Amino acid sequence: MTTINQTGRCRCGRSSIHVQGPVIGRFFCHCTIYRSLYKEPYADVTVVRARSVTIRAVHKMNFRRYRSPLP
């Protein structure tokens, strides 16, 4: 099983997280939600368990779940 040990920041740089643990999955997302939200052609997504993520620096961080507009 592949593991990850990385630190990352949000696009504005005010919040950061550290991820350390096993990788559950990885995929490229081409959904219309991502494309319209970030104006990018795709997202490279790595899936880990919540307990593998530590929030280090927080500046008004919001977590949202987006759903497809399709029925």
Tens digit of each residue's pLDDT (9 = 90 or more) over 7-31: 988 878 888 889 999 999 999 988 8
What's the total number of domains in the chain?
Answer: 1
CA distance 19 to 53: 5
Does a structural domain hold residue 67? Answer: no
Total Cβ atoms within 10 A of residue 26: 12
Does a structural domain hold residue 27? Answer: yes
Does a structural domain hold residue 53? Answer: yes
Is the backbone of residue 44 left (phi > 0), alpha (psi -120 to 50) or beta?
beta
Local structure of 30: helix, strand or coil: coil
Does a structural domain hold residue 8? Answer: yes
Percent of the chain with pLDDT over 90: 34
pTM of the complete model: 0.65
Q: Which residues contact residue 37 at a Cβ distance below 8 angstroms, ignoring those fewer than 6 apart? A: 66
Does a structural domain hold residue 48? Answer: yes
Does a structural domain hold residue 71? Answer: no
